[in-house]
Amino acid sequence: MEKIGIIGAGTVGTALAGCLSAKGYDVAGVNSRTMASARRLAARVESARVYPDAQVLADAVDWVFVTTPDNVIPIVVSSLMWRRGQAVLHCSGADSLDVLEPARKAGCAVGAIHPLQTFASIDQAMANLPGSTFSLEAEEPLLGRLKNVVADLEGHAVVLKAGDKVLYHAAAVMSCNYVVTLVKLATDLWYTFGVTQAEATKALLPLLKGTLNNIENVGLPNCLTGPIARGDTGTIGKHLSALQQRAPDLLSTYKELGLQTIPISLAKGRIDASKAGEMNRLLAK
């Protein structure tokens, strides 16, 4: 079995190392910008030795996962001497394989494996990884090996081309990070009538979870509910008026989201083109 080295012991690197080790992979060593983070990873992975020098780690292992921040990946890869036959991988969602070009030129197999998951904490990330999708970019035979890794991690693999990566990552940001933004904006509205952010979040969470259940079990577009789904221009007009008066900074966001929701409502079949046009005119003012 290949010896695996981790360069970059942040949340992603530590969670990935822990999950790989739990599935029997030989995570042999870690190097990180700080000794504290490297030791934290080594404390979770019994087989992992802390390497203060990244080059010594690279020399000692067969596969190297570079799990640093995206902008650091090319710096790390270009700073090391690689040997032919090694595999060098990164876990960036937006970057393609070009950032690994120095390793490729040295005769290494290069690849990208990105877990499509949120990494708010190490423990939560490790709990969330099973069942997640992993995007892969590599050539055979490494691609086949990475598919096996994903299967061992109880995940689902999707193979991307270089030109797909940035839009793939943008979709991840929209479906994950921007949901957080929307919840923040929603709790801001609750604050206008005297409810704290913590209380508002607690109140909205069952609605959020119900929406996710509907997306999973009913699917798009039929999971859409609310005033746009039913063509309720009266309620939409009330929203616009209240936002204009009490939260004008959110008015443009509400309008744009509403405009993007109208085609979903049309696809669901609850409204016709005439009603869609009426809502478009109302929201485009």
* Residues 243-281: tens digit of each pLDDT: 999 999 999 999 999 999 999 999 999 999 999 999 999
Would you say residue 21 lies in a domain? Answer: yes
The pLDDT of residue 120: 87
Same domain, 182 and 245: yes
What are the Cα distances from residue 202, in Å, to 21, 45, 70, 175, 215? 36, 35, 34, 20, 21
Same domain, 32 and 106: yes
Would you say residue 169 lies in a domain? Answer: no
Same domain, 240 and 101: no
The pLDDT of residue 88: 98
Would you say residue 170 lies in a domain? Answer: no
Would you say residue 158 lies in a domain? Answer: yes
Indicate the number of domains in the chain: 2
The pLDDT of residue 184: 97
Mean pLDDT (the chain, rounded): 96
Would you say residue 9 lies in a domain? Answer: yes
The pLDDT of residue 162: 84
Would you say residue 130 lies in a domain? Answer: yes
Q: Which CATH number goes with the domain that contains 26?
A: 3.40.50.720
74 pLDDT above the threshold of 80 = yes
Same domain, 197 and 140: no
pLDDT in tens, 104-121: 999 999 999 999 999 889
> Mean pLDDT throughout 225-244?
97
Burial class (CB in 10 A: 0-12, 13-18, 19+), 1: exposed
Q: Which of 98, 132, 164 is the last residue of a domain?
A: 164
Prediction pTM value: 0.89
Domain of residue 29: give its range. Answer: 3-164
The pLDDT of residue 285: 85
The pLDDT of residue 1: 77
Would you say residue 46 lies in a domain? Answer: yes
At 197, is the pLDDT very low, low, confident or very high (cuts 50, 70, 90)? Answer: very high
At 76, is the pLDDT very low, low, confident or very high (cuts 50, 70, 90)? Answer: very high
Same domain, 79 and 125: yes
Alpha-carbon distance 198 to 68, whole Å?
A: 33
Same domain, 195 and 264: yes
Alpha-carbon distance 85 to 107, whole Å?
A: 6
For tokens 């309620």, the residue is: 235
Cβ atoms of 214 and 206 closer than 8 Å: no
> Mean pLDDT throughout 20-28?
97
96 pLDDT above the threshold of 90 = yes
The pLDDT of residue 224: 97
Same domain, 121 and 102: yes
